[in-house]
Chains A and B, each alone.
Chain A
């Protein structure tokens, strides 16, 4: 029985189902994701950590604090948007914070990325909890310039007013750090790096520290108008997310206690139906997959500090008092925490402000896509291990009894010999390693070039990218005269690597794994077509041109309405400042696999005498069993 099973696994019949299995995996994987926004597959959010008690406290911010707020806003707008670079901002804001009776520290930083220098000066103040032991802290942050490059006028003023107001309370169990970051992108990163003493040379150390940071709330309120809804931004660097409890607490306080509508992922209108849920989820996946910072809070998340940005959006009936009270209530909830955020979820996809799916539900979709490559690779491996089945059994020295007959569909098939072929491993492995190490060239180029060179280099690279697979293919075939088995093994190893990387990545950054996986799906089906079917080869080559990382880059640039060089600059900045590793996967995993598959597609023209060659190499045929 067992012999029958293993031999039938080795038979060509099973191999025919491998592409079917792979396509099934992909189809189910995509369908799985599309099912998630349905009522039955997603869950309503809930507060898992009971200590948070969201919205259970009275808030008192308001009254004369509003007059103080207006004064501080005047101070902020008088300084202007450029004040943070030279240090006037730190000087002035530091003075205001000192006058409120807080300890103030300042920090200068400077980064160089894509040939441009980013520098500024952060200023922060520590409100030492009365009777506190300086072991824990909460950060309330406002960046001087928000992600859109606007002066965060009301946000900074609100943090300054709150600093003065919260100082009067004696109930704090944790220190509160009020951080006015010089900008939203480099400033918070410099600060949090220095807080953990992980900073590089051009970033100065912090003169003043407190305990372990338990939570971060960033306020972004650039207008002087009253606002309509609160946009909660939560994506961290490399697709890491803050604890879902923090988002739930913010949503519950804002909408439940304060009556502010909350929105996610720039979905300003949300009817909580399938289409809007799907769109929210896909936007979230896009941000997660790209792994860039989405606000000043993003830099904290890699340090396992849960952080969100509260962004005032639109024009409506809520003013700074309501936002101030929301922040006050949120800080009171964080203050209640007995332990670091650990309940609830760290891996989730949000599809409405009170609806989510957790990793257990969504992970299979990316895993299925990743596993399709592994299945295809296993199929190729089995295929290359077999010689062509010969109808007449060879008689061994031991006699005819040793030959194995195969049973197919219950009927006795014509006697076949199962033979094992020694696989030519060296050439395919060397080729794969070679192509994968090529990936370091674009990785280095695009992370270290100056911004002004990005556009020409990118176009040169795109053109080179079109001609690289045919060129490599020609060179490879002319130099090494590879057989079809070689190509099969190359594809096998390539898909195996891809499947392995993607399934590992799916647990870290689901969305990136899903997106790369989806773009790579045709890789499973593209193989060197015989010369007679050159049109299939040509078609696959054309299809591949649409699925290269360079076209993905152009598509992302189009999606964001940015120039390609802008995207590359952002990526280089992310690499240097944030420690973003999206590009490692793009250039060192996805791109080399693409090249390999491109070479295979081009090999269609060079594989005319496949059968003859194989016959010549029949020397390796060895009898099995």
Chain B
């Protein structure tokens, strides 16, 4: 079965097609191969998108493969046939930056997102292998992936299709499992193992730019690993498996704020600039005095690789070569009118409109510089097929609602998509309140919901899974709403950190295109932002206070009762220090008393 090449950019990124094709032309040759490419793209608002892409091919069994052995072993042990792991920080601002790079296929939702096709004969076995996979990846990437348990795992039905080449009978045995950790802070400890998987390990090639300080200062940042089987040859001939390889695509995408990156050189603190450096509007009636109406974005700021990443590229990675294809290492998608100055160590190759690429040499530093551009050049912006935003409605600690606004910006094309929600068990949606409607649509308008897949939650065992296939007509806005109840947790179920609330995983929206055989394939992915759910929270210092208080009361009660039980109360004159005569008299009195008592007992 031959499926389309994974992650092939759609029409929205036509200009990058040739570049991407070069990167992906890494066919499953006899030897394992590796290619890397950095794409720089200027975005509106003085931002720059940097997309690093590393493609390595290899097999499980080859000891000298470029494909990292550590990951291969994990995949083999957990029988994982296809793996997608995403670490994302921040949010992609589609209204400012336009359509997401690589059609949103490489980025996940905020936090960590993982989905995989695991080979198993039953659901239970798939779950066991999934747990193995999570635990192993957790160790490999220093992330809390081991917390993806049954309550955070769903089995999407409509949203995901395998990207790699799987035979039909293999597909029948594959189980798709999907887990998210929206609260996971992505940081340098995840970047280091990520770089270790690369053949040049951040020492040479474009990966030498990847520095934790710069990467995690970005406006938006995403690291992803996609492992798919790639097979050579057409049709389903025998022995196909022998010609199959694993292809791993590692991507690091980030959006850098040029202004902030430049400022870092002089002073980290954004102090107000001196008034002489400010661009003021001279046309205002009050201009000239001590007032300054600021003119913002009067120029495209200058930037360079070394300025933004703190160092130039340390030559090309010697392993990054694909037989028969000329490698292109760095590409800049910048309007043609803007000059780019490249340092020695790279040769320019023009790849098309607004796209200039460079081939790097080994062991030679490479840098590109874009000078100040004033007035700013207009940047073409590609609208994404769908704008999505999601928010909570209502207030209080008992009920709430979710509202998702889905806008189709296209003027002539309806959009089909699947809206997937993976909710924790303690957020209990009421399905009867689910509604999806177009704003200001006539009541006769056909229903926009075409198919719903709903798997209800089980308390403390699994979360809710809601998949809705919808169709939004051109230039229309659909509003999806549903209400939910908040469960009351046991006090041990609260995480031990400061109680900020519970993060609800971003909704995943997969834009579909209909294939010839009537099935749907995902062509574009959009994630909403995550949500913060506040649950009724006990005052955690209260149990502590109660324990102290009860302990005190217990101690007091026990102490006094114990005292009463065991202490013999005697008069002061009965204690010692009476002198010899006194003691003798006491003893005599005691004996007399005892005798008297005995006498009484006898009488009785």
Contact B392 A71 (CB under 8 A): no
CB contacts (< 8 Å) of A209 on chain B: these are 389, 391
- Most chain B C-beta atoms within 10 Å of own C-beta, residue among A51, A135, A136: A135
> Is B394 touching A197 in the complex (CB atoms < 8 A)?
yes
B603 within 8 A of A: no
Contact between A130 and B294 (Cβ–Cβ < 8 Å)? no
Closest B residue to A210 by beta carbon equals B391
Q: Which residues of B contact A66 (CB under 8 A)?
A: 290
Q: Are A198 and B531 in contact (CB under 8 A)?
A: no
Q: 0/1 per residue, B77-111, Cβ < 8 Å to A?
A: 00000000000011101011000000000000011
Q: With both chains docked as a complex, state the minimum distance between the C-beta of A106 and any C-beta of chain B, in angstroms.
A: 15
Q: Is B525 an interface residue (CB 8 A)?
A: no
A164 at the B interface (CB under 8 A): yes
B271: chain A residues at CB < 8 Å are 60, 63
Name which of A336-344, A418-426, A476-484, A614-622 contacts chain B.
A336-344
A567: chain B residues within 8 A (beta carbon): none
Q: Which of B153-161, B304-312, B441-449, B499-507 is the interface stretch?
A: B499-507
CB-based contact B294/A71 at 8 Å = yes
Binary per-residue interface labels of chain A (71-84) against chain B in the complex, 1 for a CB within 8 Å, 0 otherwise? 11011001000000
Within 43-67 of A, Cβ neighbours of B (below 8 Å) are at: 51, 60-67
B530 touches A135 (CB 8 A): yes
Closest CB of chain A to B299's CB: distance in Å?
A: 14
Name the residue on B nearest A194 (C-beta): B393
List, in ascending order, chain B residues with CB within 8 A of A197's CB.
391, 393-394, 401, 403
Min Cβ gap B439→A in Å is 9
On whether the beta carbons of B217 and A136 are closer than 8 Å, the reply is no
| Interface of chain B, main secondary structure | loop
Q: Do the beta carbons of A99 and B393 come within 8 Å of each other?
A: no
B127 within 8 A of A: no
Task: Give A130 to B218 CA distance when docked, in angstroms.
Answer: 7
Interface string of B477-504 (1 = CB under 8 A from A): 0000000000000000000011111010
**Nearest Cβ in chain B — how far from A283, in angstroms?**
30
A164 contact set on B, CB distance < 8 A: 294, 296
Are B293 and A75 interface neighbours, CB within 8 A? yes
Which residues of A are found within 8 Å of B272, using beta-carbon distances?
60-65, 165
Q: Given the complex of chains A and B, what is the CA–CA distance between A339 and B220 in angstroms?
A: 24
Contacts A103-B95, A128-B91, A198-B395 hold; do A68 and B292 have CB atoms under 8 A apart? yes
Residues of B within 8 A of A100 (CB): 296
Asked if A64 contacts B500 (CB within 8 A), the reply is no
Cα–Cα, bound, A548→B175 (Å): 75
* Cα of A136 to Cα of B45 in the assembled complex, Å: 24
B297: Cβ under 8 A from any A Cβ: yes
B219 with A131: CB separation less than 8 A: yes
Contact with B along A96-116 (1 / 0, CB 8 A): 000111010000000000000
Given the complex of chains A and B, what is the CA–CA distance between A304 and B217 in angstroms?
A: 33
Is the beta-carbon distance between A74 and B284 smaller than 8 angstroms? yes
Q: How far is the CA of A99 from the CA of B45 in the complex (A)?
A: 10
Known: A65-B272, A197-B403. Is A134-B217 also a contact (CB below 8 A)? no
Report if A70-B291 is in contact (Cβ < 8 Å); known contacts: A62-B272, A212-B532. yes
Are B284 and A71 interface neighbours, CB within 8 A? Answer: yes
Name the B residues within 8 Å of A303 (CB-CB). Answer: 395
CB neighbours (8 Å) of B281 from chain A are 71
Chain A neighbourhood of B395, CB < 8 A: 196, 198, 303-304
Interface positions, chain A 530-568, Cβ under 8 Å from B, are: none
CB of B529 within 8 Å of the partner chain: yes
Inside 8 A of A611's CB, which chain B residues have their CB?
none
In-complex Cβ contact of B537 among A133, A211, A342 (8 A): A342
The answer to whether A135 and B389 touch across the interface, beta carbons within 8 angstroms, is no
Known: A70-B291, A74-B291. A133 touches B110 (CB 8 A): yes
Q: Chain A: interface secondary structure? A: loop
Kindly list chain A residues whose C-beta atoms are within 8 Å of the C-beta of B393: 196-198
Known contacts A67-B278, A339-B499, A135 near B534 by CB under 8 Å: no
Which A residues touch B201, using CB under 8 A? none
A101 is contacted by which of B277, B289, B296, B401 (Cβ under 8 Å)? Answer: B296
CA distance in complex: A248, B468 (Å): 48
Q: Are A131 and B218 in contact (CB under 8 A)?
A: yes
Assembly CA distance A198 to B534 (angstroms)? 18
B365 cross-chain contacts in A, Cβ below 8 A: none
**Contact residues in B for A133 (Cβ distance below 8 Å):** 89-91, 110-111, 182, 503, 529-530
B259 at the interface (CB under 8 A from A): yes
User: Contacts A67-B278, A103-B95, A133-B110: A211 and B90 contacting too (C-beta < 8 A)?
Assistant: no
Q: A133-B529, A196-B393, A303-B395 are in contact. Are A340 and B534 (CB under 8 A)?
A: yes
Structural contact, B90 and A131, CB atoms closer than 8 A: yes
Establish whether residues A130 and B219, one from each chain, have CB atoms under 8 Å apart when the complex forms: yes
What size tier do the contact residues of chain B reach?
35 or more
User: Smallest Cβ distance from A308 to chain B, in angstroms?
Assistant: 19
| CB of A170 closer than 8 Å to a CB of B | yes
Contact A64–B278 (Cβ < 8 Å):
yes
Once the chains bind, are B498 and A212 in contact (CB under 8 Å)?
no
**Closest Cβ of chain B: how far from A377's Cβ, in Å?**
34
Residue contact A70 to B290, C-beta cutoff 8 Å = yes
Asked if A411 CB lies within 8 Å of chain B CBs, one says no
Most central of A51, A65, A342 by chain B CB within 10 Å = A65
How far, in Å, is A133 (CB) from chain B's closest CB? 4
B325 / chain A contacts, CB cutoff of 8 Å: none
CA distance A130 to B296 in the complex (A): 19
Q: In the complex, what distance in Å separates the CA atom of A279 from the CA atom of B121?
A: 78
Cα(A64)–Cα(B275), bound, Å: 5
Chain A residues with Cβ below 8 Å from B569 are none
- Measured CB to CB, the nearest residue on chain A to B292 is A67
A86 close to B (CB within 8 Å): no
Tell whether, in the assembled complex, residue B532 and residue A135 are in contact, meaning their CB atoms are under 8 Å apart: yes
A168 at the interface (CB under 8 A from B): yes
Shortest beta-carbon distance from A278 to chain B in Å: 32
- Which of chain A's residues have a CB closer than 8 A to the CB of B286? 70-71, 74
Chain A residues, Cβ within 8 Å of B297: 99, 101
Task: Give, as a whole number of angstroms, the nearest-CB distance from A190 to chain B.
Answer: 16
Q: How far is the CB of B388 from chain A (nearest CB, A)?
A: 12
Query: Once bound together, how far apart are the Cα atoms of A512 and B294, in whole Å?
Result: 50
Question: Please, which residues of chain A bring their CB within 8 A of the CB of B293?
Answer: 68, 71-72, 74-75
- Complex: how many Å from CA A209 to CA B220? 19
Least Cβ distance of A581 to chain B in Å?
A: 17
- Give chain A nearest CB distance to B270 CB in angstroms: 4
Decide if B273 is an interface residue (CB 8 Å cutoff).
yes
0/1 interface trace, chain A 514-538, chain B, CB 8 Å (1 if under): 0000000000000000000000000
**In the complex, chain B residues whose CB is within 8 Å of the CB of A211:** 529, 531-532
Tell me which residues across on chain A come within 8 A of B403, comparing CB atoms.
197
Say whether B408 faces chain A, with CB atoms less than 8 Å apart.
no
Chain B residues contacting A67 (CB-CB under 8 Å) are: 275, 278, 280, 290-292
Q: Which of A132, A169, A340 contacts B501 (CB 8 A)?
A: A340
Fill in one digit per residue for A164-178: 1 if any B CB lies within 8 Å of its CB, else 0.
110011100000000
* Separation of A51 and B498 alpha carbons in the complex (Å): 10
Q: Is the CB of A134 within 8 A of B498?
A: no
Q: List 5 A-B contacts (CB under 8 A).
A: A63-B274, A64-B292, A131-B90, A212-B534, A340-B534
Nearest first, the 7 closest Cβ-Cβ pairs linking A and B are A197-B393, A168-B270, A135-B532, A63-B272, A67-B292, A134-B529, A338-B498
Given contacts A63-B271, A340-B500, 15 further A-B contacts (CB under 8 A): A60-B270, A64-B273, A67-B291, A68-B292, A71-B292, A72-B293, A74-B293, A103-B96, A132-B91, A135-B503, A136-B500, A165-B272, A197-B391, A197-B394, A304-B395
